[in-house]
Structure 1
Amino acid sequence: METLTTKQKIFNSPVTTIILALLVFMAVVIAGQQITSKLLALTPLDKDYRSLLKGLLVSAMCVYSYILFFKKYEKREVTEFASKEFIKNILLGIFVGFTLQALTILVIYLNGSYSVIAVNPVSFILIPLALMFTVAIIEEILVRGILFRIVEEKLGSYISLLISGVTFWILHLINPHSTFLSGLCITAAGFLFGAAYMYKRNLWFPIAIHFAWNFTQSGIFGAITSGNEKTNSLLEAKIQGSEFITGGAFGPEGSIQAVVFCFVGTFILLALCHRENKIVKPYWR
């Protein structure tokens, strides 16, 4: 009986839960991408539309696998993906992400470092739309839905915010052209998304902010995102000038104003969390 209790404690521990959830989720992501790619390749659809559908299908599989896993494993109702206020959370998140990124680009423009070369057809945004939506869902489930949420239950909001923010930065270390400023911005963005989840207790809100931040940057303004290759975009732009303002080869996320705007957004959300008593204290308090 004592051995069984010990096994149950290990099985239900936060570390075990995080490891199992990560393994299951990543297996779904990898398998989902492979299966959808092969199935969609059999259709007569254009490459852009296949990419869009692939993104939507993989995203749906990610959300469903998260709900199913935690419903069975933790034996609870998974409220992180509740449909209540879904539209409100999505629209508010898109507004926040778009505004923060638009302000970042505006500083580059006012510095004389951003100019529009051409306006592309709307169809050009399909690939970045699908890509950024899928990336936002995968990363938010991994870092906020699994890591942040489970750690917060034991160690409280602030320690969990720190751990998840640093983890978010570590995950982006392998990105090309990383700098000190880009690392600071990625960490600040991790804090922003974590604070967004704390405030709404719903993953749709940080997913929408994350998506809008990335999509506005690459899909609309034609900038590089996190040091990756440039995607198609609505605006064909020329960005040159001081790396301190433009972010250089890493993109606007490596700029000083992006860091400032992410921290400002974080502080506002944390202030709202305090006002509405949404800060979780560590177990020893």
Structure 2
Amino acid sequence: MKSSLFLLLIFVAVDAVVVTVVSAASGSAILSLTLGAAAAILTILLYAWTARRIEKREPTDVPRAGWFRATARGTLAGVGLFVATVLPIAVFGGFRIAGWGSFGGMLTIFGLMMAVATVEEVLFRGILFRLVEQRTGTWIALAVSATLFGLLHLVNDPSAIGGALAIIAAGSMTAAAYVATRALWLPIGLHLGWNFAEGGIFGVEVSGSDNAATGLLRGVFDGPALLTGGGFGPEASVFAVLACLVTTWYLLRVAQRRGNIRPRRPAQNPENQDA
């Protein structure tokens, strides 16, 4: 238990440091890309090292084989899911493109999101979800990790309860991706692709953050909060929630077919312990 808590504290600190350092490089696309990639790689290496040294286990959820393909597929899927969210919003008149933004800004956001997606998925799926699942089974672990993931984003806007609920749906999706593959590459890719499309391509704020978005386009969402997500951004749109929930359902079906759903561990019998 102590080692688990220590591991969580390590990566909470890593999360804070990574976001601070990479955000500080937002004025340079090249520097942001370099630092973002370096932060992502170092986070994975640190996770593998702590797994061996602190937990005394092999980090099978960060396999070397196929890592690039799985991450790339996840990234493309994340971009596609966000585009699928924006299209119905546009059909109902809640989205328009006001002009071009910045190509350099797009690359800067990609660098930042590489780091953010990696460290958050390691923290919430690789550590928190996995440790809770060992004690309570897959379903409770999914609920716990997704809920805490959503509550974390209230830091951006403490009043955005609807936004936090929407992020819980997104956290359920990446947790389901982890269960389906038993690896971190697909959830990292989904997280990266979604955030990059939101901020880097469409140029809108990510998860209620008030940072000025300078993506490739200058997207404008305007209309009822249920349609557009309101002040939190399109992640809180009903269409974003639906996209995440449908994907979660699909991935959990894949996980069930593969036998990756794990039951709650039965309580140990004190008499057996004495024996």
TM-score over 0.5 for the alignment? Answer: yes
Structure 1 counterpart of 2:271: none
Structure 2 counterpart of 1:9: none
SS at match of 1:173: helix
Question: 1:61, CA displacement in angstroms?
Answer: 1.9
- The 8 Å contact of residues 71 and 186 in structure 2, kept in 1 or not, is answered as yes
| 1:55 correspondence with 2:58 | no
Seen in structure 2, the aligned counterparts of structure 1 residues 168 and 30 have a Cα distance that, compared at 3 Å, is closer
Structure 2 counterpart of 1:7: none
Question: 1:27, CA displacement in angstroms?
Answer: 4.0
Q: How many residues align?
A: 265
The residue correspondences of 1:235-246 to structure 2 (distance < 5 A) are 235-246=217-228
Select the residue among 246, 254, 259 that pairs with 1:272: 254
| 1:84 correspondence with 2:62 | no
Structure 2 counterpart of 1:166: 147
Seen in structure 2, the aligned counterparts of structure 1 residues 37 and 121 have a Cα distance that, compared at 3 Å, is closer
Question: 1:179, CA displacement in angstroms?
Answer: 3.0
Alpha-carbon deviations, 1:173-210, whole Å to 9, x = none? 22227534322211111111111000111101100000
| 1:100 correspondence with 2:81 | yes
| 1:112 correspondence with 2:98 | no
Separation of aligned partners in 1, 2:167 and 2:23: 30
| 1:263 correspondence with 2:245 | yes
Seen in structure 2, the aligned counterparts of structure 1 residues 223 and 30 have a Cα distance that, compared at 3 Å, is closer
| 1:252 correspondence with 2:239 | no
Seen in structure 2, the aligned counterparts of structure 1 residues 95 and 31 have a Cα distance that, compared at 3 Å, is closer
The residue correspondences of 1:114-153 to structure 2 (distance < 5 A) are 114-153=95-134
Alpha-carbon deviations, 1:104-128, whole Å to 9, x = none? 1111111112111222453221211
Provide the TM-score with structure 1 as the length reference: 0.86
Alpha-carbon deviations, 1:49-69, whole Å to 9, x = none? 222222222222211111101
Question: 1:284, CA displacement in angstroms?
Answer: 1.1
Structure 1 counterpart of 2:273: none
SS at match of 2:183: coil
The amino acid across from 2:3 in the alignment is: T
The amino acid across from 1:230 in the alignment is: A
Which has the larger displacement, 69-78 or 136-145? 69-78
SS at match of 1:79: coil
Q: Percent of aligned positions with the same letter in both sequences?
A: 34
- The 8 Å contact of residues 154 and 160 in structure 2, kept in 1 or not, is answered as no
User: Alignment RMSD, CA only?
Assistant: 2.2
- The 8 Å contact of residues 101 and 203 in structure 2, kept in 1 or not, is answered as no
Provide the TM-score with structure 2 as the length reference: 0.89
Seen in structure 2, the aligned counterparts of structure 1 residues 226 and 29 have a Cα distance that, compared at 3 Å, is closer
Separation of aligned partners in 1, 2:69 and 2:241: 26
Structure 2 counterpart of 1:10: none
Question: Where does the alignment leave 5 or more consecutive residues of structure 1 unmatched?
Answer: 1-12, 41-45
Question: Where does the alignment leave 5 or more consecutive residues of structure 2 unmatched?
Answer: 268-275
- The 8 Å contact of residues 22 and 146 in structure 1, kept in 2 or not, is answered as yes
Separation of aligned partners in 2, 1:121 and 1:225: 17
Separation of aligned partners in 2, 1:222 and 1:178: 23
